[in-house]
Amino acid sequence: MIRLAVIGDPIEHSLSPAVHGAALDRLGVEYEYKKVHVRPEELGEFVKTAKREGLDGFNLTMPHKVNILPYLSRIDDEARYYSAVNTVCIRNGELHGFNTDGIGYELALGRMGKKFSGSRLVVLGAGGAAAAVIAAAIRGGAESISVACRTAAHAEKICDRDLGDTKIKICGFSDTEIAAECECAEVLINATPLGMEGVSHSFDGFDFIDALPGDALVSDLIYKPKKTALLTEAENRGLKIQNGLDMLIFQAIAADERYLDRQLDMQDLYNTVIDAVGDR
């Protein structure tokens, strides 16, 4: 029996128990996977309880991905590269940190016939999810990444790394500024909460979508609702669209590989999980 959890604040909306549950059922692994509401000031207490109760590991969502770092005995190269952790394995009472968000997004992109290598991306937002996507894209050899955001300092911080051959441009969040970046983009990625269930703010307008080439992909990291206003507008203009569910599923399967310490059949498990949670 493997004992796992997902922690966050808020956590009620999380699909992680259903996603991991479907994958672990398919693998025939006996498991317990619970959702735990952990506020920022409760993280230390949660870590103590997790060790005491013999938890084998846990996934982390907002706002714990960076705050967990001081509690780790070991951090793998991937998580070090992202300076954030979304998966913790507890082995012999020690916490080992991993990050599967980047690989999760890369595999999701692959399902749409796209890859980072040589690609031109526009990323909206400069928070934790944007950081993971941008880091993975730089490592994957993206040609250029335009980061459109309201706080330039946040974008500067997440792009402050070895860029290799990738060109980075930081711009404002107005319709006109985003449109200018969209003109030769292959993938537009929304990494802001705009359009998410329960979030009242939305985009000021969607004219920037008109600037995208006809074969561009519009990718929204949000998975609730399944089709955000951004995706609906993009689809109405004949563009390819993808919501955040594929990323969620792939990062979860990659996390299960860390928990079980073995390689898994990503495609088979993706098919199983999408059948189980695709309608939610």
Binding-site member from 23, 109, 221, 241 for ligand NAP (CB under 6 A): 221
- In the bound complex, what is the minimum distance in angstroms from residue 66's beta carbon to ligand NAP? 10
Q: Is residue 168 helix, strand or coil?
A: strand
Residue whose CB is less far from ligand NAP, 24 or 147 = 147
- Whether the CB-CB separation of 75 and 85 falls below 8 Å is answered with yes
**Is 134 near ligand NAP (CB under 6 A)?**
no
Binding-site member from 90, 130, 185, 269 for ligand NAP (CB under 6 A): 130
**Per-position x/- string for 34-73, each x denoting binding to ligand NAP as judged by CB under 6 A, each - no binding:** ----------------------------x-----------
Write out the catalytic residue numbers.
65
Where in 154-193 is the site for ligand NAP (CB under 6 A)? Answer: 154, 173, 191-193
Residue whose CB is less far from ligand NAP, 9 or 51 = 9
User: Which residue type occupies 185?
Assistant: A
Give the DSSP letter of residue 9. Answer: S
Q: Is 7 left (phi over 0), alpha (psi -120 to 50) or beta?
A: beta
**Is 136 near ligand NAP (CB under 6 A)?**
no
- Whether the CB-CB separation of 165 and 145 falls below 8 Å is answered with no
Q: Give buried/exposed letters for 162-186 (b at 16+ CB in 10 A, else e).
A: eeeebebebbebeeeebbbbbeebb
- In the bound complex, what is the minimum distance in angstroms from residue 151's beta carbon to ligand NAP? 3
Q: How far is CA 11 from CA 17, 59, 78, 197, in A?
A: 11, 11, 25, 14
Binding-site member from 79, 109, 178, 194 for ligand NAP (CB under 6 A): 194
User: Quick one: tokens of 140?
Assistant: 């994957």
Give the DSSP letter of residue 117. Answer: T
- In the bound complex, what is the minimum distance in angstroms from residue 129's beta carbon to ligand NAP? 3
Cα 212-251-260 angle, rounded to 5 deg: 165
**Is 126 near ligand NAP (CB under 6 A)?**
yes
Binding-site member from 8, 251, 270, 273 for ligand NAP (CB under 6 A): 251
Nearest-CB residue for ligand NAP: 127
- Give the strands of the sheet with 87-91, arranged side by side: 31-37, 2-8, 57-60, 87-91, 94-98, 74-75
Stretch of 162-170, 216-224, 260-268, 270-278 lying at the interface with ligand NAP (CB under 6 A): 216-224
- In the bound complex, what is the minimum distance in angstroms from residue 132's beta carbon to ligand NAP? 7
Binding site for ligand NAP (CB under 6 A): 62, 125-130, 149-151, 154, 173, 191-194, 196, 201, 221-223, 244, 247-248, 251
